[in-house]
Structure 1
Amino acid sequence: MTDSAQIRRSVTLRRIFSSRRQVRLDPPRDRSESLAYLTGVSETSHAFPGLEPVLTTSELAAHRGVPVQTIHDLRHAQRGPRGFRVGRELRFRLSEVQAWVEGMEAYDHAAGLIEGATR
């Protein structure tokens, strides 16, 4: 898989990932289950037990179905998931991504309740 640094450096990859028309090779996933396969990962299956799985920026963007730049923009606006740098690449802990998604869902739910009450 291509990481975000390679996308930023390559003109061809930038055109592919920034095109308005998104080409999907596999069928679209249900968004609620997009990271579900990572939650069942046992600690004994890792080379280093106790380490939590992490996602790169491009993996997170692919799982969320958004461009990599959207993840960067959300983080710049301080509305994205917390992450950390490994060299030049950002990494995101699975638990942080899940907390971020749950926070967005709670915000949307609360906004829906407030919107419903004002009508």
Structure 2
Amino acid sequence: MKAGINIWSGQKGLGGALTNPTTLSFRKGNIKHQYQVVFWAVEYADAEAAYKYHKTGVLERDMVIMTKIIKAKLEQHPQLAEAISKNGGALWLEQCRHIVGVKGSRWEGIGRRSNFITCLTNAYEALLKLEK
């Protein structure tokens, strides 16, 4: 299993692609492709745009919404799920971190201590269950 990475828009490659604001990652030159997401029959520029539209401000509900949005992203861009699998799957994601430098962020942290990484891992695991 490869070492975990920081998943955020400032990370080149997979870390920049797995974060929600991929439009920002693309603008920064850290990824080569954009990752639009169709969620509830509406196309969004990226997972971040979908999340911002649907968020409630209640952490538990927002985590459910974010997990569903990320799952949709992984379904629509299967190369991302394949890259997670090649790196070690859910165990690898749990070694990753989401540190972006926002004070008081409810999403930052390492492994499952990051609400974002928890949502990403849950979305990946839900996708695997569908494939079986």
Q: Please, what TM-score do these two structures have when normalized by structure 2?
A: 0.26
Q: Considering only CA atoms, is the larger Rg found in Structure 1 or Structure 2? A: 1
Q: Please, what TM-score do these two structures have when normalized by structure 1?
A: 0.28
